[in-house]
Chains A and B, each alone.
Chain A
């Protein structure tokens, strides 16, 4: 009985791990850091996390989880509510539709795909932000944010990969 309950709990925790980690990453990414311009140029950690889990464990990362992560990111940043959710859902759907392409591919190929997806996501985000809020970020800001996002992806992917191997390898 107890064993069954523990196994059930273990399954639940494993199922929730990708979404919970994504929420934690988004929350920690807004902690103030005394680096000039960091808040403006802060890389899009929500996008990195959503991309990683959709590529590697889509079975544990449903669309409604992506939606909630997007809403959470918007609520914390004070930005337009729904914008990140919208963009991340489209990212999720794009990767899901190409899922077989990613299976067993070398890391640099997945990273290349991330560069393309991140470019599209950031372009869409800027367009929606402009349409609903007005005011476009200057291209140096846009480019720096994009560059930081793609440059930091391998580090985050390595960390998440380690966590995945530690906790989710058997499931």
Chain B
């Protein structure tokens, strides 16, 4: 049925007006969300993790072929260099056998000394291994999404490690996904120390690949090549986790190259050291799981 006359004449401008109002409403809503996000409103975080929870199965499925292709490429590379790799591993094995002996001696000595001073034994910890399924920070955020969440025992503030060293800490937790804030993120501040001198400092991310060492204790003289480990201060991370190595010490400040290659994160080990930390902990009963 064809409509005409005054109704149609009125309907078109009304529709345009409604569309414009709706558009302005949406723009205002987006701006409002940014302001609330800046104020760290809890419902924003919950909403974000609800979306992550919903998409994680899809991301996990999409990430699998990429992981498999990666492993395949590594295998091919390994096969091509098998002889050289064998020689290298034999040499490394000889060296490690020596270090194993040293470690055993030290362990025995340590136990004896602990017995002497009646020191309490270190707390045990539990961990969950989870696959990295999203790595999307853009230029402003350095974080990854992992396919394990509160139902696997992960809670805010838990430590994320790779075989090479400290990756970061869990910043947001959903039911089956969690977001790990990387060491290089602008909002990451980790208390560390220089391994040899035990001088304390904070390692501050600035979204670049080389985080800065700031608040160095007075008199500290970091040298290129110095190993940086967590100091355990602040209670978020336990002491002694390998962080990186000093690679710059000049006008740009002291810069540290993390041991972890953040571009090749496949699996992370999320550890509950039971440190509690300075972050609010919504703690479900932790459970141990090896491999997912």
Contacts and interface: CB of A to CB of B under 8 A. Distances in A.
Interface of A: 27-40, 42, 63-64, 67, 70-72, 74-83, 85-86, 89-90, 93, 126, 128-129, 132-135, 137-138, 141-142, 145
Interface in B42-56: 44, 47-48, 51-52, 55
Given A86-B31, A89-B23, A137-B207, A34 B263 contact: yes
B63 A32 contact: yes
A107 to B, nearest CB: 27
A64 to B, nearest CB: 6
B141 interface: yes
A30 B31 contact: no
A80 B37 CA distance: 6
Contact of B139 (A31, A36, A85, A142): A142
- Counting chain A CB atoms within 10 Å of each CB, the highest count among B33, B38, B172 belongs to B33
B interface, size bucket: 35 or more
Given A32-B132, A67-B30, 11 more contacts: A29-B136, A31-B59, A39-B137, A39-B262, A40-B139, A81-B37, A82-B32, A85-B30, A89-B27, A132-B37, A133-B186
A40 to B, nearest CB: 6
B260 interface: no
Contacts of B172: 78
Contacts of B263: 34-39
Interface in B40-91: 44, 47-48, 51-52, 55, 58-59, 62-63, 66, 70
B134 A129 contact: no
Contacts, number: 148
Contact of A145 (B59, B139, B207): B139
B140 interface: yes
Contacts of A39: 135-138, 142, 262-263
B179 interface: yes
A71 B30 CA distance: 8
A82 B206 contact: no
B279 interface: no
Interface string B95-137: 0000000000000000000000000000000000000111111
B265 interface: yes
A31 B62 contact: yes
Interface in B122-172: 132-145, 172
A31 to B, nearest CB: 5
Interface string B160-198: 000000000000100000010000001000000000000
B139 A141 contact: yes
Contacts of A71: 30, 33, 51
